[in-house]
């Protein structure tokens, strides 16, 4: 018997908790797992909205058959073709060979490319509707949130937004499917923002366009493809998306370093302490050798201040720090304050590389950079204090 969770009458959540996968898109750590959410509407005509990753195909088909009984599946709405959403399409089509696949003009070339499917397709454009009987679906394009074919599906009568990757999250649902069934969102907040910053974050301008479009709709439920369903805290998550997509930052500092033998790390610890002494309430310190870049990027997306330090390595920058800088350049995060420190050993290169990064990303430099020769001396430590004080003073202006 299938687990039966209704969003509204005859609209069902078909979700799978994946606690076994270690990496999302084979790169982002999943310490708390991830969900794949599909949705089934049982009306005069029936519709499945998205599917799940391929390993869950059999269970998804069995769930659909159990809920529909003698009825067949009439439509499969494809909001997004990425395989974590579309991996079960082939098995769904095999089980229901007459199902009509609903997507936009950018959906179907990808559908053919992944699964070789070209038949029984129905193309929709911006604002088009599809009646199922008592439920009417309307389609809106949200290109590059976060693929070019991405769209959302809005059920007009019950005012449900099936939002694709927007408003989603890492993390499994431990019994609570809706936001008001979770006693505290604190445990989810970090994973919601980490999902946004690493998966969607590069496309802030496109997110803003999507938010403007969705503001014209009355929405009672937001049903994303990953994470919990929003029904009581919709203004909360929409405000978060507005702030993140416009690159707003809170008054805090991320101190991030790359250190081979501990000297640059020592400078990072001094800077963190000096920040606290200067009145900064929120300080995060990250070692690029130990902490995956997705967690560091998550904190940098949250806080306005960033202080970066690196040792030299073969005349250049310490490789884990180079990886982080490359990721940040890719995401194009704007409007951060940047302090710079490091150690030079025999040749230098780490601080020089961070300066080059600063020129590219155009963050505001705060304070005078410090580069210790081998181990930091008292003068270097005093200059670390100056960076911390300058950052604290700048943050007080927010």
Which of 245, 277, 293 is at the close of a domain?
A: 245
Confidence of residue 398 (pLDDT cuts 50, 70, 90): low
Check whether residue 232 and residue 145 sit in a common domain. Answer: yes
Residue 80 has pLDDT above 50, yes or no: yes
Average pLDDT over every residue of 158-174: 95
Check whether residue 42 and residue 24 sit in a common domain. Answer: yes
Check whether residue 228 and residue 292 sit in a common domain. Answer: no
Check whether residue 32 and residue 144 sit in a common domain. Answer: yes
Which of 224, 245, 266 is at the close of a domain?
A: 245
CB 287 within 8 A of CB 257: yes
| Sheet (strand 136-141) strand order | 129-131, 136-141, 151-155, 160-164, 221-224
CA–CA distance, 149 with 45 (Å, rounded to integer): 25
Mean pLDDT in the chain? 95
Among candidate residues 139, 143, 165, 135, the one with its CA nearest the CA of residue 152: 139
pLDDT tens sequence across 220-253 = 999 999 999 999 999 999 999 999 999 999 999 9
The CATH number covering residue 373 comes to 3.40.50.360
Check whether residue 25 and residue 89 sit in a common domain. Answer: yes
What separation in angstroms does the CA of 14 have from each of 6, 172, 190?
9, 14, 25
The percentage of residues in the chain with a pLDDT greater than 90, rounded to a whole number, is 92
Check whether residue 78 and residue 128 sit in a common domain. Answer: yes
The CATH number covering residue 47 comes to 3.60.15.10
Which of 228, 245, 262 is at the close of a domain?
A: 245
pLDDT of residue 67: 95
pLDDT of residue 4: 78
Give the three-class secondary structure for 76.
strand
Does 146 sit behind a cis peptide bond, omega within 30 degrees of 0 on the bond before it?
Answer: yes
The residue range of the domain holding 236 is: 5-245
Longest Cα separation, the chain: 80
Give the three-class secondary structure for 165.
coil
pLDDT tens sequence across 22-72 = 989 989 999 999 999 999 999 999 999 999 999 999 999 999 999 999 999
Average pLDDT over every residue of 207-218: 95
Confidence of residue 2 (pLDDT cuts 50, 70, 90): low
Residue 186 has pLDDT above 80, yes or no: no
Tell me how far apart the terminal alpha carbons of the chain are, to the nearest angstrom.
55
Residue 155 has pLDDT above 70, yes or no: yes
Residue 3 has pLDDT above 80, yes or no: no
Token look-up 């560091």 returns 296
The percentage of residues in the chain with a pLDDT greater than 70, rounded to a whole number, is 99
> Considering its fold, how many domains does the chain have in total?
2
CA–CA distance, 57 with 55 (Å, rounded to integer): 6
Residue 323 has pLDDT above 90, yes or no: yes
pLDDT of residue 348: 82
Among candidate residues 233, 241, 226, the one with its CA nearest the CA of residue 183: 233
Cross-strand partners of 255: 285, 307
Which of the pair, 76 or 186, is modelled with greater confidence?
76
Residue 1 has pLDDT above 60, yes or no: no
Check whether residue 237 and residue 276 sit in a common domain. Answer: no
Check whether residue 30 and residue 173 sit in a common domain. Answer: yes
Residue 345 has pLDDT above 50, yes or no: yes
Check whether residue 230 and residue 307 sit in a common domain. Answer: no
CB 366 within 8 A of CB 337: yes
pLDDT of residue 397: 84
Per DSSP, 129 falls in state E
Query: Could you give phi then psi for residue 187, rounded to 5 degrees?
Result: -70, -20
Check whether residue 163 and residue 312 sit in a common domain. Answer: no
Check whether residue 215 and residue 295 sit in a common domain. Answer: no
Average pLDDT over every residue of 173-178: 91
pLDDT of residue 187: 67
Check whether residue 43 and residue 97 sit in a common domain. Answer: yes
């Amino acid at each position: 018997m299938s687990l039966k969770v209704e969003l509204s009458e005859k609209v069902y959540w078909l979700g799978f908790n994946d606690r076994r996968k270690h990496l999302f898109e084979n790169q982002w750590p999943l310490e708390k797992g991830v969900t794949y959410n599909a949705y089934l509407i049982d009306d005069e005509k029936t519709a499945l909205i998205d599917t799940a990753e391929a390993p869950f195909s059999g269970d998804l088909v069995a769930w659909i058959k159990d809920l529909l009984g003698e009825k067949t599946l009439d439509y499969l709405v494809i909001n997004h073709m990425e395989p974590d959403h579309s991996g079960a399409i082939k098995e769904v089509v095999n089980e229901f060979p007459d199902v009509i696949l609903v997507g936009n003009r950018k959906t179907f070339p990808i559908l053919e490319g992944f699964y070789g499917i070209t038949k029984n397709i129905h193309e929709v454009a911006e604002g088009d509707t599809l009646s199922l009987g008592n439920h009417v679906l309307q389609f809106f394009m949200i290109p590059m949130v976060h693929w070019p074919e991405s769209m959302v599906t809005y059920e007009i009568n019950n005012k449900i937004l099936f939002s694709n990757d927007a408003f989603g999250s890492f993390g499994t649902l431990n019994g609570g499917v809706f936001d008001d069934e979770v006693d505290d969102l604190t445990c989810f907040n970090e994973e919601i923002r980490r999902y946004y910053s690493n998966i969607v974050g590069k496309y802030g301008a496109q997110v803003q366009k999507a938010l403007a479009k969705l503001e014209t709709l009355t929405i009672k439920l937001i049903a994303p493809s990953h994470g919990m369903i929003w029904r009581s805290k919709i203004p909360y998550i929409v405000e978060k998306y507005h702030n993140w997509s416009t690159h707003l930052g809170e008054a805090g500092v991320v101190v991030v370093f790359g250190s081979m033998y501990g000297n640059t790390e020592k400078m990072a610890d001094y800077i963190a302490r000096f920040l606290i002494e200067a009145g900064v309430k929120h300080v995060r310190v990250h070692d690029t050798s130990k902490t995956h870049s997705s967690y560091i990027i998550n904190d940098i997306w949250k806080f306005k201040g960033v202080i970066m330090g690196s040792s030299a390595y073969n005349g250049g920058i310490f490789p884990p720090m180079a990886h982080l800088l490359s990721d940040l350049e890719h995401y194009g995060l704007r409007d951060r304050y940047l302090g710079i420190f490091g150690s030079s050993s025999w040749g230098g290169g780490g601080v020089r590389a961070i300066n080059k990064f600063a020129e590219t990303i155009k963050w505001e430099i705060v304070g005078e950079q410090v580069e210790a020769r081998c181990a930091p001396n008292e003068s270097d430590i005093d200059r670390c204090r100056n960076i911390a004080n300058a950052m604290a003073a700048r943050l007080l202006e927010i």
